[in-house]
Amino acid sequence: LAARGVQGLSPYQPGKPIEEVAREIGLDPANIIKLASNENPLGPSEQALAAIREAFPEVTRYPDGNGFHLKQKLAERLGVGSDCLTLGNGSNDVLEIVARAFAEPGTEVVYSEHAFAIYPIVTQAIGATGVQVPAVDWGHDLYAMADAVTERTRVVFVANPNNPTGTVVEKEGVYRFLKRIPENVIVVLDEAYCEYLQGPEYADGVQWLSEFPNLIVSRTFSKAWGLSGLRVGYGISSPEIADVINRVRQPFNTGVLAQAAATAVLDDHAYLERAIEVNRAGLEQLRDGFGRLGLDVVPSVANFVAVDTGRDANEVHNALMREGVIVRPIGAYGMPRHLRVSVGLESENRRCLDAMEKVLS
């Protein structure tokens, strides 16, 4: 019964919730830590929580289908017009909308090997053909990706930084790549982790929107802003592109509470700064700690690291789980020996490193 593109698909495998793992291994959920879904370990912003409480009576009504207040706030922050923005139920929603709005059976969508799993899923689901370009040093090879564009290509997805590797392509490289892509091909710069990038060498796709009318930048409130569970992401593009993707978007794809919290958290500068600092220190802690255990880590600028366990990572994953530490095997991304470990609080990172030492010895 399934459409042709859907027949060959496997569902995206999210990390298991703590309660489910606790039941499986017979541990108290309070003794389990989850470093598996690249979430913010700080807990929610107090300002976001206050906004949710305040907005709660509104839940009997549909949300503002155009997300007026959130878009206005984002537009101010980004220095673009509100008509350049498209809200999504998480940025996954934006990525899916883009695929539906621009690709179709008989056309091609280009993405990298070891890149974010949603790209092949949204491509195949609509019956378009995915073109996976080999990676270099676990990261995107933008030269090869530009070479892979044909007259059938409609969309190119670039995760910068990439999940699950944490690799990034620096500004110059991204700019040269954009210059090489024909104007009738949509380029999605997926910047889900951009808030963690501190430094002039990193690209901020928004600066190029006026030069490249085929560019869409996607971002999210799920990572540094700490609102994964509310599901809010957004696309930034020319007004013409935003008009096309807004035609495909479901009218109420971001909820009342999600819009309120996302709008409020944008004012919580202290929260963002703390998130960035905790992540910077945690990345260092994990990288050094795994290094001391003799394990290679892919150099990461995001809020997770891919660590080479030197063996079948599923076994290490299961052993860590029995120690109450949930991380993510990434065999489905073509990395069967690696585990992806999200940055947690200092004590959580330490517990993960200790558990790794124990299970590998």
Residues at the interface with ligand PMP (CB under 6 A): 38, 90-92, 116, 159, 163, 190, 192, 220, 222, 228, 233
Q: CB of 166: closest distance to ligand PMP in angstroms?
A: 10
Q: Which is nearer to ligand PMP, 84 or 118 (CB)?
A: 118
Q: CB of 137: closest distance to ligand PMP in angstroms?
A: 18
Q: Which is nearer to ligand PMP, 337 or 340 (CB)?
A: 340
Q: CB of 92: closest distance to ligand PMP in angstroms?
A: 4
Q: Which is nearer to ligand PMP, 171 or 219 (CB)?
A: 219
Give the pairing of strands 233-236 and 215-220.
antiparallel
Q: CB of 111: closest distance to ligand PMP in angstroms?
A: 11
Place of tokens 């003799």: 294
Distance between CA 88 and CA 280 in Å, rounded? 28
Q: CB of 144: closest distance to ligand PMP in angstroms?
A: 19
Q: Which is nearer to ligand PMP, 22 or 197 (CB)?
A: 197
Could you tell me which of 134, 138, 133 has the C-alpha nearest to residue 308?
Answer: 138
Of all residues in this chain, which one has the CB nearest to ligand PMP in the complex? 90
Strands in 129-133's sheet, in edge-to-edge order, are 85-88, 233-236, 215-220, 186-190, 153-159, 108-112, 129-133
Distance between CA 175 and CA 142 in Å, rounded? 10
Residue 45 makes CB contacts below 8 A (sequence gap 6+) with 225, 226, 261, 264, 265, 268, 271
Q: Which is nearer to ligand PMP, 38 or 123 (CB)?
A: 38
Secondary structure element (H or E) that encloses residue 220, with its range: strand 215-220
Q: CB of 266: closest distance to ligand PMP in angstroms?
A: 15
Secondary structure element (H or E) that encloses residue 155, with its range: strand 153-159
Q: CB of 18: closest distance to ligand PMP in angstroms?
A: 18
Strands in 328-330's sheet, in edge-to-edge order, are 296-297, 304-308, 335-342, 328-330
Distance between CA 308 and CA 295 in Å, rounded? 6
Q: Which is nearer to ligand PMP, 159 or 353 (CB)?
A: 159
Q: Which is nearer to ligand PMP, 194 or 241 (CB)?
A: 194
Q: Report DSSP letters for 175-217, one per residue.
A: HHHHHHS-TTSEEEEE-TTGGG--STTS--GGGGTTT-TTEEE
